[in-house]
Amino acid sequence: MTPQLISTEAIYTLHKHGVFSDLDIKFAEFVRRFAASGDDTESLFLATALLSRAVDKSHICLDIGGLVGTTFPDWTREGQVVTVPAGAGRPVYQLPATDLWLSQLQGHRGVVSDSIDGRTPLVLHEDRLYLHRYRRYEQEVAGRLRQLAATEPATVPDSSWLRDALARVFPQQDLPLPPNWQKIAALAAVRSCLTVISGGPGTGKTSAVARLLSLLEEHHQHRQQGAASEASLRVLLAAPTGKAAARLNESIDQAVAAERVTEDGESNPLYIDMPPEVRAAIHVRAGTIHRMLGTTPKSIRCRHDSTNPLDADVVIIDEASMIPLPLMHRVLEALPEGAPLILLGDMNQLTSVEPGFVLGDICRAAAAAGRTTGFIDACRELAEEPIEPSGAGLEPLPLADACIQLTYSWRFPPDSPVGEISAAVNTAADTAAADAILQRLTELTDTPADSGQAQVTYRQIETPSLRTGSKLPDSDLRDLLLARLEPYLAASTPDEALAAFGKFRILCALNRGAFGVYELNSLAEAILSGEHESDRAAVEAGAGGRLLARVRQTFYEHRPIIVTRNHYGLGLFNGDIGVVMSAASAAAGGAGDEAESEIGLRAYFPGTERDPGLRDFQPELLPPHETAFAMTVHKSQGSQFEEVLLVLPGTPSPVVTKELLYTGITRVSRAVHIWSAESTLRQAIITPTQRDTGLRDELLEK
């Protein structure tokens, strides 16, 4: 089919085919109305509709110069040809030539300017088109990060004290891959107001933070000696989700409370050598970023901003890969002058659902610059950890000093199945590498290692294989659910149920479809309730005689739920996991008389810092929520389970990327089972997430 030059009529045709949303079209029409009368607005209409769609797909801008060779989620591009998804009779459209398109946009000065000073709805910077607010966010975030990286904290330890403290807090040890990057990260954090610590699961990010906290608190107390009032260091810890915040608390508490010697009489690697008064002073609690900033419902403003900064001496944020650009802008606005910002995350994990690729852009910008001579000398003289200068031709920047990559995973060593496969997924770039990974997965499945390391198994599935014509799952799914969820079904109290449920989870790439969250939750409910006679005997035997007390009602005994929308009044937030049980069960430690009716049921959630006990709610008053036997990989970020069943769609999907695969694989401590069609898995391995953004380039500006 001969490509047609795209026109206004064609854009409306694409809208009918679902390529553009109603919002994309309405916004494009709105901008077009404000263009100068008589101007050719067809190219403007196209660019605005594409920009609106790009932002909806979590891009920061429309990279007009990069359209050639760039694939949007459900479009195919060959050169500058945009093909509507497969369908009989659908036309093929030709985009305008890039130079001509940019020239036409520059002519619409009433709605397009080249800077945020122009106060137009659209900003064209070089060959990237932005909504005005996103260009402002990008510029201000980049400028603030560059400033922080080049700024010393309000108080910097003197060299002799710092050298001794680093040697004590980070003692010499035999490292598989020297130098000690944890120690170097701590050094970076006391020399700069920005530190970014990136690394995969088990690389020691939270351990490094716990040691850094002890270092900072000890220095704080050292400076305050003799002062009239000796207050503890004001530390704010936060994460994007409540689950991630809870895990951060657990990790720091474990590290701070670790004894010098284990119960077996062995030296404890988690032990931190610090004075008793320092240990007693470290009692920080992590919460969500939104709670830290004081976000309020139905408002874009926060309680803390540039006019009312956070009350903190240092701010530490975990799971930074999940932070979108607008939220990072709010964090930086609220950061007090002189207070260090420490970001922890894994740049290889899934990025934020909302627009932006902040952590990835920071790490990529740092990798494109060289470390300064001053930092290299400090590593050698103060940390006693020599590091090599960056490669030739790289211009030294403080941002490179501020970004530390932890490379060795103690949880998943390179020779472990999860470590091997996750590393291979990260680096795979072509189908040959993908085929090698598929072959290795088959080998690991056939000959599982008995080494105590986390295992990986792979089962090739086709679209019909999880369910038959009667919508029943196959026996493998049934047996896996029964084996892993028996302790959960047997739990007699909400505390026991929540602890047992946290050990196993089904993770999906999508919400909808035969392999999506909704279908898998429905299948799990059908199996565990013995809904079909063919399953009932196996369920009764495999679940200790306990079935889900499900009588077609919305709420039932042992229904696991995940909150999907924040409710500030109840203190429940997106991602919080709870369980429905009868009040009688909770009080008496066993099933109550009302277990099979909705009467007497309560929804139980773990406690919070302000309300540490188990919290219970009337189910009907809960904010929007879903059943949680299965959840998306996105919602699992910041969580860890003993075992995971990762189910990918029967056909390739733009959502299924190498970042999603890597994130799903690394959520485990014991085993991950990958169920996927071969074509889906192969495509995921070689498909990285792509976000159009100019933040990396802005960070490299002087």
| Chain centroid offset of residue 117 CA | 33
By the 8 A CB rule, do 321 and 360 touch? Answer: yes
Q: What is the pLDDT of residue 415?
A: 85
**466 vs 248, residue with greater confidence:** 248
By the 8 A CB rule, do 408 and 177 touch? Answer: yes
Q: Could you give the CA distance from residue 627 to residue 606 in angstroms, rounded to a whole number?
A: 17
Q: Picking from 68-82, 409-423, 572-586, which range would have the lowest pLDDT averaged per residue?
A: 68-82
**129 pLDDT above the threshold of 50:** yes
Q: Could you give the CA distance from residue 647 to residue 564 in angstroms, rounded to a whole number?
A: 21
| Chain centroid offset of residue 502 CA | 18
Q: Picking from 187-191, 571-575, 622-626, which range would have the lowest pLDDT averaged per residue?
A: 571-575
Amino acid at 561: I
Q: What is the pLDDT of residue 297?
A: 67
Task: Mark out the alpha helices in 58-131 (DSSP H runs).
Answer: 98-106
User: Which residue in the block uniquely carries the two structure tokens 């026109």?
Assistant: 7
Burial class (CB in 10 A: 0-12, 13-18, 19+), 31: buried
What is the average per-residue pLDDT within 625-644? 92
Which band of pLDDT confidence, cut at 50, 70 and 90, is reported for residue 78?
A: very low
Residue 126's contacts (CB-CB under 8 Å, 6 or more residues apart) are: 65, 694
By the 8 A CB rule, do 15 and 50 touch? Answer: no
Which band of pLDDT confidence, cut at 50, 70 and 90, is reported for residue 451?
A: low
Which band of pLDDT confidence, cut at 50, 70 and 90, is reported for residue 244?
A: confident
**467 pLDDT above the threshold of 70:** no
**226 pLDDT above the threshold of 70:** no
Which band of pLDDT confidence, cut at 50, 70 and 90, is reported for residue 592?
A: very low
Q: What is the pLDDT of residue 74?
A: 42
Q: What is the pLDDT of residue 582?
A: 86
Residue 399's contacts (CB-CB under 8 Å, 6 or more residues apart) are: 145, 146, 149, 194, 362, 365, 366, 369, 699, 700
Per-residue pLDDT of 282-319, as tens digits, reads 878 888 898 899 887 667 788 999 999 999 999 999 99
Backbone φ and ψ for 524, nearest 5 degrees, come out as: -60, -45
Q: Picking from 513-517, 606-610, 675-679, which range would have the lowest pLDDT averaged per residue?
A: 606-610
By the 8 A CB rule, do 60 and 694 touch? Answer: yes
What is the average per-residue pLDDT within 613-641? 91
Structure tokens at 26: 């309405």
Q: Could you give the CA distance from residue 401 to residue 369 in angstroms, rounded to a whole number?
A: 9
Which band of pLDDT confidence, cut at 50, 70 and 90, is reported for residue 642?
A: very high
By the 8 A CB rule, do 4 and 92 touch? Answer: yes
Closest CA to 182 of 255, 125, 94: 255
CA distances from 333 to 117, 239, 617 (A): 19, 17, 36
By the 8 A CB rule, do 101 and 127 touch? Answer: no
- What secondary structure does DSSP assign to 429-482, as a single string? -SHHHHHHHHHHHHHHHHS---SSSPEEEEEE--GGGGB-TT-PBPHHHHHHHH
**449 vs 472, residue with greater confidence:** 449
Burial class (CB in 10 A: 0-12, 13-18, 19+), 625: buried
Specify the length of the chain in residues.
Answer: 702
| Chain centroid offset of residue 243 CA | 12
**82 pLDDT above the threshold of 70:** no
Helix (H, G, I), strand (E, B) or coil at 143: helix
Q: What is the pLDDT of residue 652?
A: 83
What is the average per-residue pLDDT within 663-670? 94
Q: Could you give the CA distance from residue 353 to residue 362 in angstroms, rounded to a whole number?
A: 18
- What secondary structure does DSSP assign to 297-358, as a single string? TT-S-BSSSSSS--S-SEEEES-GGG--HHHHHHHHHHPPTT--EEEEE-TTS---SSS--H
Backbone φ and ψ for 123, nearest 5 degrees, come out as: -125, 125
What is the average per-residue pLDDT within 440-462? 83
Q: What is the pLDDT of residue 16?
A: 84
405 membership: H or E segment, kind and range: strand 403-406
Which band of pLDDT confidence, cut at 50, 70 and 90, is reported for residue 229?
A: low
Q: Picking from 88-92, 478-482, 686-690, which range would have the lowest pLDDT averaged per residue?
A: 88-92
CA distances from 389 to 131, 386, 507, 663 (A): 39, 10, 42, 31
Q: Could you give the CA distance from residue 667 to residue 200 in angstroms, rounded to a whole number?
A: 11
Residues in a beta bridge with 125: 128
**222 pLDDT above the threshold of 90:** no
DSSP state of 356: -
Which band of pLDDT confidence, cut at 50, 70 and 90, is reported for residue 594?
A: very low
**393 pLDDT above the threshold of 70:** no
Exposure of 273 in the CB half-sphere (CA atoms within 13 A): 11
Average pLDDT of every residue of the chain: 85
**Residue 179, preceding peptide bond in cis (omega within 30° of 0):** yes
Exposure of 204 in the CB half-sphere (CA atoms within 13 A): 22
Helix (H, G, I), strand (E, B) or coil at 267: strand
**213 pLDDT above the threshold of 80:** yes
**483 vs 699, residue with greater confidence:** 699
Beta strands at 314-317 and 235-239: parallel, antiparallel or unpaired = parallel
What is the average per-residue pLDDT within 484-505? 91
**358 pLDDT above the threshold of 90:** yes
Closest CA to 343 of 188, 480, 573, 512: 188
**17 pLDDT above the threshold of 80:** no
What is the average per-residue pLDDT within 528-537? 72
Per-residue pLDDT of 149-170, as tens digits, reads 999 998 888 999 999 999 999 9
Closest CA to 142 of 421, 361, 383: 361
**140 pLDDT above the threshold of 60:** yes
- What secondary structure does DSSP assign to 145-210, as a single string? HHHHHT---SS---HHHHHHHHHHHS-----SS-S-HHHHHHHHHHH-SEEEEEE-TTSSHHHHHH
Q: What percentage of the chain reaches a pLDDT higher than 70?
A: 85
Which band of pLDDT confidence, cut at 50, 70 and 90, is reported for residue 5?
A: low
Per-residue pLDDT of 21-32, as tens digits, reads 999 999 999 999
Q: What is the pLDDT of residue 283?
A: 79
**626 pLDDT above the threshold of 90:** yes
**545 pLDDT above the threshold of 90:** no
What is the average per-residue pLDDT within 355-381? 93
Q: Could you give the CA distance from residue 459 to residue 464 in angstroms, rounded to a whole number?
A: 14
What is the average per-residue pLDDT within 663-680? 93
Q: What percentage of the chain reaches a pLDDT higher than 90?
A: 49
Neighbouring C-beta atoms of residue 593, cutoff 10 Å: 11
By the 8 A CB rule, do 277 and 221 touch? Answer: yes
What is the average per-residue pLDDT within 455-470? 68
**276 pLDDT above the threshold of 60:** yes
**327 pLDDT above the threshold of 50:** yes
DSSP state of 549: B
Which band of pLDDT confidence, cut at 50, 70 and 90, is reported for residue 34?
A: confident
Which band of pLDDT confidence, cut at 50, 70 and 90, is reported for residue 532?
A: low
Q: What is the pTM of this model?
A: 0.87
Q: Could you give the CA distance from residue 444 to residue 399 in angstroms, rounded to a whole number?
A: 41
